[in-house]
Chain A
Amino acid sequence: MASGVKPRVKVPKTAAAGETITIKTLISHKMESGQRKDDDGNIIPRSIINRFTADFNGQNVIDVTLEPAISTNPYFQFEAVVPESGEFNFTWYDDDGSVYETAKKITVG
């Protein structure tokens, strides 16, 4: 069970119609690879975020599969075209079954 997991997202509050905006996301997570051993030689079980998605008004923008080699606190920066006002929904899927969600509104004016 991962502790201290907190998603963070930076999306501009406003944009012009059809504008390409930059979105930054970061989730604090230890991303335990499952390859390491503890002091007694036992394998520390894998515990990573294995999938990240972003949707805009129900339409998928990005869908990422994360692998164990990705380091602590995975950070994604990507671009999206915003045709209209709406809401971005961001979802992170944890190995332990937890799902972390956050949403950001953007106004096209």
Chain B
Amino acid sequence: MKKTTLAVCSIAVLWVGPQLAVADPDDDQLVINEEISIVTEVAAPAHVENLSTIYSGWRFRSDETQAVQMDDFDNPGMIGVENALVDWDTVEGTAGQSCAGCHGAAEDMAGVRAVYPKWNEEKGLVTTLEMEVNNCREARMGADKWKYTGGDMTDMVALISSVSRGMPVNVAIDGPAQSTWEEGKELYYTRTGQLELSCANCHEDSYGMMIRADHLSQGQINGFPTYRLKNTKLNSVHARFKGCVRDTRAETYKPGSPEFVALELYVASRGNGLSVEGPSVRN
């Protein structure tokens, strides 16, 4: 009897071990420009089965990196937003239209980022913001498409995100979008590459741990487009997906492919309740 108790004790001690190795997200609070309060921690939505709390990637970054995002002047991602504001008012294409021609002020796009990717009834599929920008450019403006992960495109998405900052991410996963969401979920849990890693292996099972010198986040995309200090530019969601899949030593899907659109919908839905943060700053 005594022996059994001892055994139980040592198991309990053993269990503490790995817990201590986990460096949880910090307790810092994000307020941008002393004005926009950002929700960086919230109870996980019901459809996220294996997490109880979801955290923005901001909470996993060092204090120095966090500070860069707290003031728009310091945030280099805002340079992209400024560039996009020029494009917003620029007439391009055969129809003599600009973004502003239909949509008015960029601020009127508030709330849009929060609900994308979203079911597009006319096209009969789930579309991302990038796809909608190109829809507009081709169909309404008669202008050339932008490259899916190009600078112009990512700047524009950053502009559209910036006016929704502070609003909760709320992508729909039911109704016509459900099959795409299921497909994205399948991809999230599928191991790829020579390293045989799925998204979940790092971002669900191991968040908070160090992956070499990097503090693993939950892989939330509420902060995209993201200005990364490592490549000094705004990065789109699909470019980041590509980087992650490549790091598992797999052939990746293409940015803008149906697979990545499905994955974006699923990953975005895992962040339902966090605030839109883009353009965010990460390492």
Contact = CB atoms under 8 A, between A and B. Distances in A.
Interface of A: 4, 6, 8, 10, 24, 26, 28, 71-73, 75
A10 B71 CA distance: 11
Contacts of A72: 76, 232
A64 B76 CA distance: 21
Interface residues of B, number: 7
B232 A73 contact: yes
B253 interface: no
Contact of B76 (A6, A10, A73): A73
Given A4-B83, A28-B79, A73-B79, A10 B73 contact: yes
A54 to B, nearest CB: 16
A4 B74 CA distance: 18
Contacts of A10: 73
B83 A26 contact: no
Interface in B54-73: 73
User: Helix, strand, loop or mixed for chain B's interface?
Assistant: loop
Q: Which applies to chain A's interface (DSSP): helix, strand, loop or mixed?
A: strand
20 contacts: A4-B83, A6-B79, A6-B82, A8-B73, A10-B73, A24-B73, A24-B74, A26-B73, A26-B74, A26-B76, A26-B79, A28-B79, A71-B232, A72-B76, A72-B232, A73-B76, A73-B79, A73-B232, A75-B74, A75-B76
A8 B76 CA distance: 11
A75 B232 CA distance: 13
Contacts of A8: 73
Contacts of B73: 8, 10, 24, 26
Interface in B146-160: none
Contacts of A71: 232
Contacts of B232: 71-73
A17 B154 CA distance: 44
A63 to B, nearest CB: 22
Nearest to A25: B73
Nearest to A28: B79
Given A24-B74, A26-B74, A26-B79, 6 more contacts: A26-B76, A28-B79, A72-B76, A72-B232, A73-B232, A75-B76
B71 to A, nearest CB: 8
Contacts of B74: 24, 26, 75
B78 to A, nearest CB: 9
Contacts of B83: 4
Nearest to A31: B232
Contacts of B79: 6, 26, 28, 73
Interface string B76-105: 100100110000000000000000000000
A75 B74 CA distance: 8
A6 B79 CA distance: 9
A73 B77 CA distance: 11
A28 B74 CA distance: 12
